[in-house]
Amino acid sequence: MGSHGATGTGRRSLGIDLHLDVGAGAGGVGRSIESALREAVISGRLPAGTRLPGTRSLADDLGLARGTVVEAYAQLTAEGWLVTATGAGTWVAETQRPPARSAPGATATTGAVRRIIDLRPGRPDLSLFPGAAWAAGVKRSLAAATHSTLDYGDPAGLPVLREAVATYVSRTRGLQAEPGAVVITSGFSHGLAMVSRALHRMGVRTIATEDPGLIHHRRLIHGAGLETLPLTVGPQGADPAGLTPAVGAVLLTPAHQHPRGVVLGPALRTAFLDWVTDRDGFVIEDDYDGEFRYDKQPVGALQASAPDRVVFAGSTSKALAPGLRVGWLVLPEPLRIPVLDAITDAGATVGAPDQLALADLLDRGDYDRQVRRARQSYQKRRAELAARLATLTDIPLDGVPAGLHALLPLASQQEEKRIVDAGLSAGLRLMGLYGAGYWHSPARGGAGLVIGYASPPSHSWRTALDALSGVLDGAEFSRW
């Protein structure tokens, strides 16, 4: 039976024209509409991003009970063919046609087409985002806010959020923070760019960064007119022995180095703290996933030991979602005015409704609850990943059980590339340590896979693990 979303009474506001060959086959009409839709997606007739008609609209057009269409949508959403967002509708999910030939060891193939599974680092499980709590927070806080809250605001952010952040980081990360030291940013990247500009104005010309580290962060520093100097990261973290007299600040990920996953050891912490004091320098402490430690209490922030020399930077990108673009800085006194000037000059601050909602979540404990929930999920995944890898190789994951990613060290960039390519052929996006995204000094050998085990939504975690096993099982590799 052919059917179109437009009816004799005109097109519905949310409807699209959709032809489906639906007939009562084995399994009944429900199975038939489900199969017809699946076929339309697999064949590419409904490309990724196509918005589907509402269930009521499609049921009317096909002369079916609405429940039948609801069930078909739910089944296809569970299989990953469709994506549904409450109140926003249903779309065809991103899928990939299979390559002409499968790579050796690839196991992610199911039928004619594969879903792309993303195991790149840097993303949380976005399906865990507490959408209802966030929406309630926006509603509640906007209803209580005065009109002036929506005026051009202080570049440091709304006082209510600065207070909530100061309380949160003091409680959870052991900081010495008062609300006056807090500046709300559009995520860590924005914060780093603004601190770099401020340091440049104060005469700093070189910032030392971790090697390996994120290329993106080096670019932000260069964009502010500064140079970078690499500090080799070993099993105890970045080595301060590489600091030169030209360096005015150091960017570190002390709680969980990205990408190696190591914790800055006590001796090196002390060395950096001595350096900032002796040199009147600064440390920028990137605490991007400091809430996510699985084997023990996270180490406290470096900032607590030198609040007048350490910039503490946090972000909601791991605990909530990177798309929110909200983070914070806790600034030493000498940097406060220069950073606010840099923010004013750059002309962008975080919108008031988002700031209000985050303050609401922090104050009500919803943020803590979300972190706990996500932590449990990622802890389990990290353990499952380590256990699965142990069946395939005796190379242990680098670093401590923490965060949202883990590094599997490999002997060469050729091995790394072969595995990343085999992953792609198997519908698995992997990130190589020395592929795009990370910076390293050319003299440094070694390579690796940076596995972002938090990225897949819960329903596809098992498939992701199986696909990764398949790729590694078919590959030859060794550690650096």
Residue of the chain from 30, 187, 423, 427 that contacts ligand PLP (CB under 6 A) = 187
Residue of the chain from 285, 286, 291, 415 that contacts ligand PLP (CB under 6 A) = 286
Determine if 285 is a binding residue for ligand PLP (CB under 6 A).
no
For 443, the 3-state DSSP assignment is coil
Does residue 121 have a cis bond before it (omega within 30 degrees)? no
Of the pair 214, 419, the CB lying nearest ligand PLP is at 214
Q: Which stretch binds ligand PLP (CB under 6 A): 5-13, 31-39, 182-190, 420-428?
A: 182-190
Determine if 349 is a binding residue for ligand PLP (CB under 6 A).
no
Residue of the chain from 15, 307, 327, 401 that contacts ligand PLP (CB under 6 A) = 327
Distance in Å, CB of 329 to ligand PLP, minimum: 11
CB 59 within 8 A of CB 68: yes
Distance in Å, CB of 316 to ligand PLP, minimum: 7
Of the pair 158, 319, the CB lying nearest ligand PLP is at 319
Question: How open is the CA angle 444-448-450, to the nearest 5 degrees?
Answer: 120
Q: Which stretch binds ligand PLP (CB under 6 A): 23-31, 32-40, 78-86, 314-322?
A: 314-322
Rg (CA), the chain: 25
Q: Which amino acid does the sequence have at 312?
A: F
Token pair in block for residue 427: 């519908």
- Bridge partners, 228 (sequence order): 207
First-to-final CA distance of the chain: 60
Determine if 189 is a binding residue for ligand PLP (CB under 6 A).
yes
Determine if 398 is a binding residue for ligand PLP (CB under 6 A).
no
- Bridge partners, 163 (sequence order): none
Alpha-carbon separation of residue 367 from 157, 314, 374 (angstroms): 19, 14, 11
Residue of the chain from 81, 188, 438, 439 that contacts ligand PLP (CB under 6 A) = 188
Of the pair 98, 435, the CB lying nearest ligand PLP is at 435
Considering only residues 240 to 259 of the shown chain, the ones binding ligand PLP according to CB under 6 A are: 253, 258
**231-256 b/e with 16+ CB inside 10 Å = b?**
bbbeeebbebeebeeebbbbbbbbbb
Least Cα distance to 191 among 316, 327, 308 occurs for 327
Of the pair 38, 123, the CB lying nearest ligand PLP is at 123
Q: Which stretch binds ligand PLP (CB under 6 A): 152-160, 184-192, 298-306, 466-474?
A: 184-192
| Unique residue bearing structure tokens 């502010």 | 224
- Where on the chain is the footprint of ligand PLP (CB under 6 A)? 122, 187-189, 214, 253, 258, 286, 288, 315, 317, 322, 327
